[in-house]
Structure 1
Amino acid sequence: MSVNSCALVMNQTPSVCTDEMTFVYRPNYQSLYISLELIIAVLAVIGNLLVCLVITRTKKLRTVTNYFLLSLAVADILVGLVAIPCAVLTDLGRPHHNLPLCLLMLSVLMVLTQSSILSLLAVAAERYMAILLPFQYQRLMSHRVACLALLLTWSLAVLSGCVPFIDWQKQPENSVFCTFACVIDMSFMVYSNFFCFLLLPLIAMFVIYARIFLIIRGQVRRMCQARTRTISSGSDEGIMDTPDQRPSIDAIFTVTNPSDPHKVIKALRSRRKMQKANSLFLLLFLFAVCWIPIHVINCIAFFCPTCDVPMSLTLVAILLSHANSAVNPLLYAYRMRSFRRALIAMWRAVWSCKHN
């Protein structure tokens, strides 16, 4: 989702956009760059298609949280099918002499970026309600509400991506090359696309997850204290004689009296909440790590036009932003046990059908 490949031509002026800039613009490692882009596109499409198949074909995984992850996977598939090819074309300054088509391509890149960040924001909000309001959660976050939230996220993404069309007539008529720096105002890319549409949602999500972890930490502390009192009441010595004897997280979630079904269910739910929160926070963290560098380069280009950013660094930042779409499925398979089991079961079913 290279909405910021404009950094490749960050020091261009409108007059440069009309010149023969082929040898100035194209990177020295063009073949390597395009090859890596295509590899990322293939991995993103295959990996996220598997995510969509696993979620849609496994009834147990059709949860509200996974609906938002499904939306993220769809956006990542479109990254591989549409955004990366468009990004490669725009990085080559194409299409030439076709401003409407150029704006459409650049808008698609921004729409997919916004749909991803809004899907992550929806996941964070859903997890926050699940933990903060567990009794009202089923009523507040029904499947119908989830579908409406998905419709809202994609609608907002389309609206934000269509902003460049508002003042398209202000663009230079003789602009030849289709690049962000030549076609879209860099002030929009920095103040609107980065500060408003990316940075603010990221800050909000980090605050939400910080609140989630504080709530879970309080639950863990209460469970630890209850477990300590239970064990201490059955022995002459407590387990907390020294600070070094504090129980581990696994020990805290281990139910002392398995015969009490209420305690068993409560411990399992708390453990699952913590594991899911950790996995989703890691998903958010990787998104931030992959996307912040290219936006920082855009900010440098905008606030310090005379500063020279190495071309190799810019290309790495662009590839990193695209790689986020290919990394997400690996994160699901590695961190989410239910997804991993469903994926293995699906592969076994396919394998058995093939041999039968």
Structure 2
Amino acid sequence: MDPLDKLSREKLIFYLTVPLSTIIIFSNLFIIIGIACNRQLHNTPNYFFLSLLVADLCTGIALPFIPRMTLDRQLDFKHCLVMYIFPNFLFLSFLFNLVMVHYERYLCIVSPLHHSQFWVHRCFPLALLTVWLPPLLYASLPAFGWNNWVEPNPNKRSDSNETFLRSTTSQNSTKEDEACSYKQVFPKAFIYLEVCGLVLPAMLSIVAMMGRVLWIARKQLQDICKLQRAVDRLQQQQPSDHEQQLNLRYAKCVAAVSLTFLVCWVPYIIYQLMSVTALQTGVSLQSSYLYIIMSCTGIGSMAIIPLILGLANKQYTEPISRLMLKLRNRWRGGRNNRDVIEQDV
């Protein structure tokens, strides 16, 4: 790739990811502090959400580096593995935490009287381990030999053991760097398994749980409206506006869920489809501007989902809002005092 062309792509990644990363980092810190300062929120559901916020915070930190994984770099084997494995682990842990939060809230809605008896509440440390350990193990598989790394010296045999031990024996060899590419770290089977075996099932499970929750809410709304109409008939009253208000509130809820899905999930789905299609056809899209834009916006928009869930809950933002209000009042009070002193003088 032309150095100037590569530089322009890196600038595009910088301008797209740094603002998103900044918003994600500070918003997550805002919500995390709000949960930590409110003792009433120190319970199992909020601990799961706190774990999701930590994973989202790490994803926000790694966001500027994830699209750069498509660009080739001059790195040795050890640094090349770290560059690709660590962001992939953070993204997978974020996805697993997102599924766990939706699953825990789904149980609370489906079984509101018995949700505390499920394993996610009774075995909280185990549930928390399941959202961090499997992503770490899977993302680390290339470090244990499942990679396409090839020795640069053609005279050497490039069997898997020599490839893996290269990082420890390279001190006595030449210091020449090799080109580091995602194709050398992630085999096609690894990518297919991650997309079709982890990412897509996680997305489908979240969509299925959201659809089930909306269906339950719709059914309960219909039951409430039936009872309301029965009461009105018994009391010989005109139909009240309460049913219309409930239907309007449900319509707003469906619209909010649909808009969140379109904004946060559709760009990432398009990005995944482009990746899989390019992998199947052998067409190199990783260096194209469209692919870079979709990778930045797709991963960044999906990382906004916890922020929407957190900022929509006033309990999470109330402590920080109170603090900001006190600081604003103090600043206004001090400014008013200075104005009064200046007028007296």
| Closer/same/farther in 2, CA of residues 157 and 110 from structure 1, 3 Å limit | same
- The question of 1:69 aligning with 2:49 is answered yes
**2-structure distance, mates of 1:282, 1:161:** 32
Gapped regions of structure 2 (runs ≥ 5): 153-176, 335-345
Alignment equivalent of 1:116, drawn from 94, 118, 121: 94
Q: 1:192-232: per-residue Cα shift (whole Å, max 9, x none)?
A: 11111100111122112222222221111111111111112
Alignment check: 8 A CA contact 1:97 1:177 kept: yes
Q: CA deviation at 1:317?
A: 1.0
Question: Aligned partners of 1:281 and 1:150: how far apart in 2?
Answer: 29
CA distance in 2, matches of 1:151, 1:113: 16
Aligned equivalent of 1:185: 187
Q: Tell me the equivalent position of 1:316.
A: 293
Report the alpha carbon displacement of residue 86 of structure 1 after superposing the two structures with TM.
3.5
| Aligned-pair identity (%) | 20
Q: Is the 8 A contact 2:146 2:187 kept in 1?
A: no
In structure 2, the CA distance between the partners of 1:49 and 1:108, relative to structure 1 (3 Å rule), is same
Aligned to 2:111: 133
- Deviation of the 1:92 alpha carbon: 4.5
Partner of 2:37: 57
Q: Residue type of the partner of 1:179?
A: S
Question: Is the aligned partner of 1:86 residue 2:86?
Answer: no
Q: Give me the whole-angstrom Cα distance separating, in 1, the residues matched to 2:137 and 2:45.
A: 24
Q: Which runs of 5+ in 1 are unaligned?
A: 1-20, 254-270
SS at match of 2:132: helix
Is the alpha carbon distance of 1:215 and 1:69 closer, same or farther for their aligned partners in structure 2, counting shifts above 3 Å?
A: same
Q: 2:182, 2:26 → 1: CA distance?
A: 29
How far has the Cα of 1:349 moved from its partner? 4.4
Q: Which has the larger radius of gyration?
A: 2
- Cα 1:97/1:278, change in 2 over 3 Å: same
Please say if residues 44 and 76 of structure 1, whose CA atoms lie closer than 8 Å, have aligned partners that are also in contact: yes
Distance 2:75 2:286 in 1: 28
Measured on the aligned residues, the alpha-carbon RMSD in Å equals: 3.5
Deviation string 1:151-207 (CA, Å, 9 cap, x unpaired) is: 220111111211222325651122823231333213321x21111110011112211
Q: Please give the secondary structure, in 2, of the residue aligned with 1:248.
A: helix
> Which residue type is aligned with residue 197 of structure 2?
C
Change over 3 Å in CA distance of 1:250–1:231 after alignment to 2: same
Q: Any idea what SS the aligned residue of 1:188 has?
A: helix
Equivalent position SS for 1:177: strand
CA 1:35 to 1:110, structure 2 compared with 1: closer, same or farther past 3 Å?
same
Q: How much does 1:319 deviate?
A: 1.1
CA distance in 1, matches of 2:54, 2:118: 25
Residue 8 of structure 1 aligns with which residue?
none
Structure 1 residues 38 and 51 mapped into 2: Cα distance closer, same or farther (>3 Å)?
same
Query: Which residue number corresponds to residue 274 of structure 2?
Result: 297
Look up the SS of the partner of 1:297 in the other structure.
helix
Is the Cα–Cα contact under 8 Å of residues 279 and 336 in structure 1 kept in the other structure?
Answer: no
Q: TM-score, normalised by structure 2?
A: 0.75
Partner Cα separation in structure 2 for residue 108 and residue 22 of structure 1: 27
Look up the match of 2:208: 207
Aligned partner (choices 330, 338, 344) of residue 321 of structure 2 = 344
The 8 Å contact of residues 72 and 181 in structure 2, kept in 1 or not, is answered as: yes
TM-score (norm 1): 0.73
**Structure 1 position 25, deviation (Å):** 6.7
Structure 1 residues 138, 169: CA separation in 2 closer, same or farther (over 3 Å shift)? closer
